[in-house]
């Protein structure tokens, strides 16, 4: 790792990130490594909502008046990705992903409006494709 990377990052920070850096005294001093700076910024600005929040947002997803079926599908997919936790065991990860795909399909179907929802329900799809 390039030793000057932390200085470059500090020089390029703007807005709230720059304000946070000025409050974090130990990160402003020259002894801070790039990895320490990166971890502090990730910890501060990463999404920290509990998983249950994403489950509820996914369940409540609904197609807006001017929103296409593809747009609600994309929104549901993004929310669903936030509900998938990562594990080391490949078999357990496969099961987690399968369950998430089931949640995604249900949320999508019930989030559709009007005749499109009825048509999709009558087809009884087993995947988003």
Long-range CB pairs of 110-115 (<8 Å, 24+ gap) are: 111/61, 111/62, 111/63, 111/72, 111/76, 112/63, 112/69, 112/72, 113/62, 113/63
Alpha helices (runs of H) in the chain, residue ranges in sequence order: 5-12, 15-23, 25-28, 34-45, 51-59, 69-81, 90-111, 114-123
Split into its structural domains, the chain has a count of: 2
Quote the pLDDT of residue 38.
74
Burial of 47 (0-12, 13-18, 19+ CB in 10 A): exposed
Biggest CA–CA distance in the chain, Å, is 64
Domain of 10? 5-45
C-alpha of 23 from chain center: 28
Whether 128 is covered by a domain: the verdict is: no
Rounded to two decimals, the pTM is 0.61
Whether 129 is covered by a domain: the verdict is: no
The verdict on 40 and 58 lying in the same domain is no
The verdict on 33 and 55 lying in the same domain is no
The verdict on 39 and 59 lying in the same domain is no
Instruction: Give per-10-residue mean pLDDT for the chain (129 aa).
Output: 59 66 60 71 71 86 92 93 88 93 94 92 89
The verdict on 30 and 72 lying in the same domain is no
The verdict on 56 and 101 lying in the same domain is yes
Whether 119 is covered by a domain: the verdict is: yes
The verdict on 73 and 93 lying in the same domain is yes
> How big is the chain, counted in residues?
129
The verdict on 36 and 91 lying in the same domain is no
Whether 26 is covered by a domain: the verdict is: yes
Whether 39 is covered by a domain: the verdict is: yes
Quote the pLDDT of residue 49.
72
| 3-class DSSP assignment, residue 73 | helix
The verdict on 21 and 59 lying in the same domain is no
């Amino acid at each position: 790792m390039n030793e000057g990377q932390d200085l470059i990052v500090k020089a390029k920070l703007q807005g709230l990130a720059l304000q946070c850096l000025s409050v974090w005294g130990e990160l402003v001093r020259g002894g801070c490594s790039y990895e320490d700076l990166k971890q502090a910024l990730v910890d501060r600005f990463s999404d920290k909502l509990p998983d249950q929040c994403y489950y509820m947002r996914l369940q409540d997803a609904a197609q807006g008046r001017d929103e296409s079926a593809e747009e609600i599908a994309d929104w549901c997919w993004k929310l669903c990705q936030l509900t998938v936790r990562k594990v080391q065991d490949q078999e357990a990860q496969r099961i987690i992903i399968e369950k998430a795909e089931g949640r995604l399909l249900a949320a999508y179907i019930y989030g559709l409006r009007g005749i499109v929802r009825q048509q999709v329900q009558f087809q009884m799809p087993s995947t988003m494709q």
